[in-house]
Amino acid sequence: MLGGETVHALGYGYLFSPVLLNIVVLLSVAVMFNYPFAWRRYPQSWHQRTQSAVVADEKGMIPHSNLVYALSQIDTFVDVSEDDLQRIYALALAGQPQPATDTAARPAESPG
Amino acid sequence: MVRKLAYSVSEREHWISAGGSLLGILAVAWVSHIWLGAHGAIFVASSMGSAAVLLFAAPHGAMSQPWPLFGGNLVSALVGVSCARWLGNEPMLAASLAVSLSIAAMYSLRCLHPPGGATALYAVLGGETVHTLGYEYVFSPVLLNVVALFAVAVAFNYPFAWRRYPQSWVRRPHSAAKTAEDSMIPHSNLVYALSQLDTFVDVSEEDLQRIYALALAGAPSAKPAVSIEPVSART
């Protein structure tokens, strides 16, 4: 209805000719472009969880079934991957800067 | 990683999301038709389709909130029209710059909203009708469409207690979150965690807190405290 004559004339060809073609190009650029940036693992599923931060805190991880339960309770689409939820939780628990020098020279800061 | 966590929602949610977007786009088209009827065209920015996905299928997302919706679309429209005007004879460059600059602008204004990219792209590739509008594009289809879609999203989500659409209007009446209030993670710790990920995560803080509170409280807590747990390695 809104794409105009050009789109209408394509019919179902629209699926392949602009749409699929565009997606393939965009996807490949996204994969290549994100690759050099270590913290951006673009197709998340290709990621073998090499992030040391997670591994270090693996024990503190929330069981998968508990997260499934939590999201089923919220019952609204939440756009985060499980990996990210686990990492956020682990990092948030590990707390602030993990100082290189153990001497806490930081100003008054209420610990969690 | 077989099952995608986000799809733990009920079937009810699928239909509510689909139904809401039906009403949303209907309203957008109808308002445009009434308002711009003189032009004889139903004028809807194509990006409203993707905005509807966010508002009706992921109403709690950080990208679906009012400021991203309004700010993201308007600033991207502005960027898009500027690119179309100044680089009109280089459509390839204009199109790619429009999207790239609108991402930069949305990030710096803290209103990242994926449909903004479409709004900017449409300003360049939308053809004669859009080009002749010039900067009017920002108001006439874009703002008009956004207002209509937003109004429907607020009204439509209101009756469904678990869908608090503009998340900032929530008074947190959820008992589930309350019970575990004391196990909440300090705000600063979440800020730290997200700064470590250093990639945009589309969840509101309220939802993150609720997810962790619920996940920690564990599955059906309906059962009394009698521990019938099988050999569970508790760490």
- d(CA B98, CA A51) in angstroms, rounded, equals 34
What pLDDT sits at residue A9? 86
Q: What is the pLDDT of residues B31-64, one digit of tens each?
A: 988 887 755 455 888 899 999 999 999 999 999 9
- Residues in chain B with pLDDT values less than 70: 1-3, 38-42, 171-183, 219-235
From chain A, which residues contact B within 8 Å (Cβ)? Answer: 1-4, 39-40, 45, 53, 59-60, 62, 65-85, 87-93, 95-97, 110, 112
Report the 10 Å Cβ neighbour count for B230: 4
Report helix, strand or coil for A94.
helix
Return the pLDDT at A79. Answer: 87
> What is B172-220 written as a DSSP string?
---HHHHHTGGGPPPHHHHHHHHHHH-S--B--HHHHHHHHHHHHH-S-
Coil/strand/helix, residue A42: coil
* ipTM > 0.85 for the complex: no
Is B13 at the interface with chain A, CB within 8 A? yes
* pLDDT score recorded for residue B198: 86
For residue B234, the tally of other CB atoms under 10 A from its CB is 4
pLDDT tens track for A70-90? 888 888 888 888 888 888 888
Interchain pair B207, A81: CB under 8 A? no
User: Using a CB-CB distance cutoff of 8 angstroms, which residues of chain A are in contact with residue B218?
Assistant: 66, 69
- What are the beta bridge partners of residue A79? B202
Are residues B57 and A77, on separate chains, in Cβ contact within 8 Å? yes
